[in-house]
Structure 1
Amino acid sequence: MTAAFVENSHAPSARAWDYLLQTWRELDVPEGWRAEIDEGQIVLVPPPHAHHNGIAEMVQRRLYRGLPDGLGIYQTLGVHVAPLGKLYVPDLVVMPTELIAAADPETSDPLDAAEALLVVEITSRGNAREDRTKKYRAYARAGVPMYLLIDRFDTRGAMCTLFTEPNDDGTFKHVDAVPFGKQLTLPAPFDVSIPTDEFPGRAAP
């Protein structure tokens, strides 16, 4: 079950955001599903395919090889894109561990996306457009320094794209894209290569 999307660059009012966030906190989401806040409404994202999870596991394993002390990799962490009033749950997000430790134990509030060092989204057939457009713009506006988009459904063929150097206008200055089968290198503080030839399920466009 998903809500319809309407393009809107304005964040909800403070009152509307507080209501949405409180509702999000109280949702009884089915196991494996994720609840996100986008365009002033709560959207339920269904569980992904096993190949999707396999890619996430492989990327996470590679990231750990070069992960500096004080950083952690999280799979179900909500992040708040404050400039746009959005709340996403990325497939992977790298955050300082001190922020995780300092989180309020009584609530499940999201962390500020601006604190993330890396956000990873892996497209599913039903949400690829949102990952390529809305989330791309949102993570840039939040100032996330690296956005890794793993797109099995790109019309050019399965692609792995790293966006860096975010702009306030919702774009990234630098793009490094490789097709599945090539290695993609993540710069400091990770300094690791992602061997995309090992990714399962190279889906047709």
Structure 2
Amino acid sequence: MTSATAGNARPPQGQPWDDLLQAWRELDVRDGWRAEIDGGKIHEVPPPHAHHNHIAAKVQRALYPTLPEDLEIYQTLGVHIAPLGKLYIPALVVAPGELIASASPDRTDPVDAAEALLIVEITSQGNAKDDRTKKLWAYAHVPVPVYLLIDRFDEHGPTSTLFTKPHHGAYQHAERVPFGQQVRLPVPFDLKLDTAPFPH
């Protein structure tokens, strides 16, 4: 999956974040596509491969039994890191349900990534590098407490890496396992996620 820059979605050079966010709100995105903001531009991202969706569904199903009542799992939820000028739409976001329920019915606004307890990104062939570098860096700076990177295109074979303990813009702990092994998510999830069912 590769991204295409939205040609008319970039405000004049030097315009503040609010202008870029307004352009994102007004963008007419094709069905199934997503729009993300990075590097001062809005990028349209095409629909993911079926394997991506299957993995997201498996992770979501595994999370539900351990999830506290006040938390929910969201797909296609925009999260912004305004100080860094970034807005992403992860595969999955775990955040307080009350936060989403109280969102304005009149505007499509992303939520502050600082509200997320867990963000899951699943690489596609065209965006794997961004998930491993730009998004890892951005989520650590928020900081998002737990970032799970499911990388179907790792050069050493498909892997899942759990990043935890963010401090001063970097995750202090990373646990990387190949598909087929379990990765342990910390509380409040307290879950051994089995990666064996993940297609690759």
Q: Same fold (TM over 0.5)?
A: yes
1:127-138 correspondence runs (5 A): 127-138=127-138
Following TM superposition, by how much is the alpha carbon of 1:195 offset from its aligned partner in structure 2, in angstroms? 1.1
Structure 2 unmatched runs, 5+: 7-12
SS at match of 2:4: coil
- The size of the alignment, in residue pairs, is 192
Structure 1 residue identity aligned to 2:166: P
CA distance in 2, matches of 1:113, 1:187: 19
The equivalences for 1:73-84 within 5 A come to 73-84=73-84
TM-score by length of 1: 0.90
Counterpart amino acid of residue 30 in structure 1: R
Cα distance per residue 1:128-180 (max 9 Å; x no partner): 00000000000000110000000000011100000001122x31000011000
Aligned equivalent of 2:9 = none
The alignment-based identity, stated in percent, is 64
- CA–CA distance in 1 between the matches of 2:87 and 2:60? 22
Q: Deviation at 1:82? A: 2.4
Displacement of 1:83 after TM fit? Answer: 2.5
Aligned partners of 2:17 and 2:82 also within 8 Å: no
Name the residue aligned to 1:190: 189
* Aligned residue identity for 2:69: D
Residue number in structure 2 paired with 1:51? 51
CA distance in 2, matches of 1:183, 1:18: 41
Secondary structure in 2 matching 1:197: coil
Where has structure 1 moved over 3 Å in runs of 4 or more?
none
State the Cα distance separating 1:193 from its structure 2 match.
1.6
* Residues 38-81 of structure 1, C-alpha deviations (whole Å, 9 max, x = no match): 01000011001000100000000001010001000000110011
CA RMSD, 1 decimal: 1.4
Whether the 8 Å CA contact 2:63–2:189 is kept in 1: the answer is yes
Q: What is the rounded CA distance, in whole Å, between the counterparts of 1:32 and 1:56 in structure 2? A: 16
Please state whether the residue corresponding to 1:69 is helix, strand or coil.
coil
SS of the residue aligned with 1:166? strand
Aligned residues of 2:78 and 2:88 also touching (Cα < 8 A):
yes
